[in-house]
Amino acid sequence: MKTIVSGIQPSGTLHLGNYLGFLRQAVELQDNSGCKRFYFIVDFHSLTGRYNPKEKAKEIYELAVDLLAGGIDPKKSTLFIQSHIEEHANLAWIFNTITSMGQLERMVEYKEKVAQGITPNAGLFDYPVLMAADILLYKGELVPVGEDQLQHIELARDTARAFNRRFGKTFPEPKAILTKAPRVMSLNNARQKMSKSLPQGCLFLTDSPKVMREKIMRAETDSHAEIGCDPKRRAAISNLVMIYAELSGMTTSEVVKMFKGVGYAEFKKELAELVIKTFKPFQERRAKVFKNKAQVMKVLEEGARNARPIARATMEEVRKKVGLI
């Protein structure tokens, strides 16, 4: 039985990139009864960025609501909060001692954040080691994530290999699983990935229909006469075509054919209506789940209760192997 593991940071509302690159696949993977699934809210990771302590608790709760409303089913997946299982940090410490500074210095996400002018704390530098611990604590083999996380998963593989070589076979070597839309680009800057740090080009799943329409109508295109899909040369319009294809279940060439001879404005109008229709049921479920705090907290507690024995057993095995008494 394969083990699927993934984490997501509580640092703002979910957006279309999170949905197409991560959430939809995490939900679909629940149909495979031959797999075990651990999905968690990585609250410790989210403390490595700037945050307001008063907002943090709200963000954690809202992400749990989003995940449940988005289709994570506690009967099929173990859903919990990372910091509720103390072994995540304990295993990260052990992994710190087998990870070189050079490996972490090569991490692109870290370098990008520093280049943006963020003053890094030690936690931000060490972030990929905690992520390796998240995955390997449950002996995760498959990790559904967006493309931006590939290098971190590679580090988790290196960590598993280094540990196994030194202390004997303990961990599997995890692999990322990507969707067909592993990198959704920003609506107003197709050279950057859609991210909550660029809110204007980011379609949040909770945006009102009016805001969704506005963001899509304002989205960057190009000066060609018709839509097309050529991500290298026409990144902006290809991104919109890809979004339409993903949400309609069509291929990108089918979308291009369907809108042949139709102007950009008309295509965007249709895209906006498709996005609004797709996320209406999510928004309705979200409003209901949000009000039921007792139930949401119960799910998270039960999730932690189920994850804990597995985390403890791995940590116990690791302690023995490295020689702790």
Active-site residue numbers?
A: 113, 193, 196
E runs forming strands in the chain = 2-8, 35-41, 78-81, 142-144, 175-177
Q: Do residues 173 and 160 touch, judged by C-beta distance below 8 A?
A: yes
Of the residues 145, 240, 242, 247, which one makes contact with ligand TRP according to CB under 6 A = 145
Return phi, psi of residue 41, to 5°: -90, 115
Residue 149 interacting with ligand TRP (CB under 6 A)? yes
Choose the binding region for ligand ADP from 20-28, 129-137, 165-173, 211-219 (rule: CB under 6 A): 20-28
Of the residues 9, 48, 179, 239, which one makes contact with ligand TRP according to CB under 6 A = 9
Choose the contact partner of 99 out of ligand ADP, ligand TRP, none; CB within 5 to 8 A by kind: none
Q: What is the DSSP string of 176-231?
A: EE--S-S-PBPSS-TTSB--TTSGGG--BTT--HHHHHHHHHT----S-SS----T
- Residue 235: CB atoms within 10 A of its CB come to 15
User: Residue count at the site for ligand TRP (CB under 6 A)?
Assistant: 14
Choose the binding region for ligand TRP from 129-137, 198-206, 219-227, 260-268 (rule: CB under 6 A): 129-137
Choose the contact partner of 3 out of ligand TRP, ligand ADP, none; CB within 5 to 8 A by kind: none
Maximum CA pair distance of the chain? 72
Residue 77 interacting with ligand TRP (CB under 6 A)? no
CA pair distance 325, 101, nearest whole angstrom:
28
Residue 182 interacting with ligand ADP (CB under 6 A)? yes
* Closest to ligand TRP by CB, 145 or 242: 145
Q: 2: which strand partners?
A: 35
Tokens of 293: 């705090």
Q: Provide, rounded to whole angstroms, the least separation between the CB of residue 310 and ligand ADP.
A: 22
Of the residues 3, 6, 77, 314, which one makes contact with ligand TRP according to CB under 6 A = 6
Which of 137, 131, 126 lies closest to 96 in space, CA to CA? 126
Q: Provide, rounded to whole angstroms, the least separation between the CB of residue 157 and ligand TRP.
A: 12
Residue 152 interacting with ligand TRP (CB under 6 A)? yes
Scan residues 187-246 and list those touching ligand ADP (CB under 6 A): 193-196
Of the residues 146, 201, 228, 303, which one makes contact with ligand ADP according to CB under 6 A = 146
Choose the contact partner of 194 out of ligand ADP, ligand TRP, none; CB within 5 to 8 A by kind: ligand ADP
> Residue 67, class by beta-carbon neighbours within 10 Å (0-12 exposed, 13-18 middle, 19+ buried)?
buried
C-alpha pair distances (Å), 248 with each of 86, 123, 198, 210, 251: 42, 40, 25, 21, 9
Q: Provide, rounded to whole angstroms, the least separation between the CB of residue 189 and ligand ADP.
A: 12
Return phi, psi of residue 113, to 5°: -65, -40
What is the contact surface with ligand TRP in residues (CB under 6 A)?
Answer: 5-9, 42, 45, 131, 134-135, 143, 145, 149, 152
